């Protein structure tokens, strides 16, 4: 269905340099909770669980259905498949990525039953990056899982070098590796077990870029630059949004604001932050900004066709896809003249009755489950 209103690149309060850093951290924490929390009766799964399911099915090919159809890497190729590494390019304070990592590597998806999905043979590594690194928060996430790493220095998604990021995260040996050194460069990350290190000598890892509730922040010129860099240096990307330009998303955002008013005492106690109560009730900055910015995010969010149009005009050295609709599946397929890339999209309800996770996944066609 076409959006009910054209895309507008309006401003969001939390993006402004004058917005107090403490308030911004609370906003980010609230959004993270929205990603990882499942509300009984209203949600069958959290948004993070739904993202994990999409990654398992559309990228990793680790669901049971994918394996049954011969879509797992070991069945689709004659040579050992390169491991996927997921790089979150707008991680903020960590967001849902640590939770997504646990779900992906546990094979959880949207079900706790092993009958619906299978864990990857080799654990998938996740790397947190941002133009404004949150190293303290990322270090906590990395300490909790050997499969979450981070790049401690600022990373510009429009001019990123994935190999440098992976070296900074301790996932690649220095290139070329010195004869006297056999351990990875960690730059603040704890040392990885040897099985988690992608060696420069064997099969190079495949890089998949994650944009969780982030891609709508980029205006068209910056979005094109990011996609150009992605097509030229990576093997795929995923855009995951909790809103779109629809009346249902407008209502869902308002419900989210009401939830903040109801749950603020619990989280103020959990975080040990009485100021959260002050800025929720006495001076209601937090609920106002969350709802206002949520509505602005709606207006900024792109459709799959709009993302495909940016790909076609991004100026990448490698061909970018053009669109074609795949009929009854309800997804959008996008391939270049050389049949190099494939773009798929879909939606899954995450909050009854009208809250939907919107996803776009684009990978090189020879890497994608079909």
**pLDDT tens by residue, 216-270:** 999 999 999 999 999 999 999 999 999 999 999 999 999 999 999 999 999 999 9
Number of domains in the chain: 2
The boundaries of the domain holding residue 309 are: 40-245+302-367
- Do 231 and 96 share a structural domain? yes
Residue 210 above 90 pLDDT? yes
Based on the fold, state whether residues 215 and 335 are members of the same structural domain: yes
- Crossing angle of helices 47-55 and 21-36, in 10° steps, is 70
Confidence tier at 53 by pLDDT (50, 70, 90): very high
Residues 263 and 315 in one domain: no
268 and 321, same domain (yes or no): no
Q: How far apart are CA 332 and CA 321, in angstroms?
A: 11
Q: Do residues 126 and 177 share a domain? A: yes
Q: Is the domain of 151 the same as that of 27?
A: no
One domain, residues 140 and 239: yes
- How much is the pLDDT for 62? 66
Q: What per-residue confidence (pLDDT) applies to 339?
A: 45
Same-domain pairing of 103 and 251:
no
Is there a single domain that holds both residue 325 and residue 237?
A: yes
Tell me, yes or no, whether 110 and 182 share the same domain. yes
Q: What is the pLDDT of residues 132-177, one digit of tens each?
A: 999 999 999 999 999 999 999 999 999 999 999 999 999 876 655 4
Residue 332 clears pLDDT 60, i.e. is over it: no
192 plus 287 within the same structural domain: no
- Rounded Cα distance, 24 and 330, in Å: 37
Residues 29 and 58 in one domain: no
Exposure pattern of 209-224 as b/e (b: 16+ CB <10 Å)?
bbbbbbbbebeeeebb
CATH number at residue 80: 3.40.50.150
């Amino acid at each position: 269905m076409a959006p009910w209103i054209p895309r507008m690149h309006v401003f969001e309060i939390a993006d402004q340099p004058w917005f107090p850093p403490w308030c911004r951290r609370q906003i980010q924490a609230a959004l993270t909770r929205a990603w990882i929390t499942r509300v009984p009766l209203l949600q069958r799964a959290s948004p993070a669980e739904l993202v994990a399911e999409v990654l398992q099915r559309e990228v990793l090919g680790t669901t049971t259905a994918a394996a049954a159809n011969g879509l797992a890497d070991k069945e689709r190729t004659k040579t050992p498949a390169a491991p996927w590494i997921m790089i979150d390019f707008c991680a903020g304070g960590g967001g849902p990525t640590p939770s997504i990592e646990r779900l992906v590597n546990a094979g959880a998806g949207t079900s706790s039953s092993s009958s619906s999905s299978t864990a990857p043979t080799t654990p998938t590594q996740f790397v947190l990056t941002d133009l404004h690194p949150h190293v303290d928060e990322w270090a906590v996430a990395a300490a909790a899982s050997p499969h979450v790493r981070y790049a401690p220095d600022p990373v510009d998604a429009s001019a990123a070098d994935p190999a440098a990021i992976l070296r900074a995260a301790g996932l690649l040996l220095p290139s070329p590796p010195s004869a006297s050194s056999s351990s990875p460069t960690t730059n603040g990350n704890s040392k990885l077990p040897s099985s988690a290190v992608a060696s420069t000598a064997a099969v190079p890892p495949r890089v998949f870029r994650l944009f969780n509730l982030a891609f709508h922040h980029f205006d068209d010129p910056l979005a094109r630059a990011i996609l150009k860099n992605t097509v030229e240096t990576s093997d795929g990307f995923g855009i995951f949004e909790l809103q779109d330009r629809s009346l249902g998303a407008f209502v869902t955002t308002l419900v989210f604001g009401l939830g903040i008013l109801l749950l603020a005492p619990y989280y103020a106690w959990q975080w040990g932050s009485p100021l959260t109560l002050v800025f929720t009730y006495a001076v209601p900055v937090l609920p106002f900004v969350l709802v206002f910015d949520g509505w602005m995010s709606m207006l900024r969010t792109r459709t799959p066709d709009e993302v495909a149009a940016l790909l076609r005009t991004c100026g990448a050295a490698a061909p970018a896809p053009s669109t074609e609709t795949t009929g009854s599946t309800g997804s959008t397929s996008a391939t270049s003249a050389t049949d190099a890339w494939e773009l798929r999209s879909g939606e899954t309800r995450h909050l009854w009755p009208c809250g939907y996770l919107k996803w776009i996944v684009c990978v090189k066609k020879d890497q994608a489950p079909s």
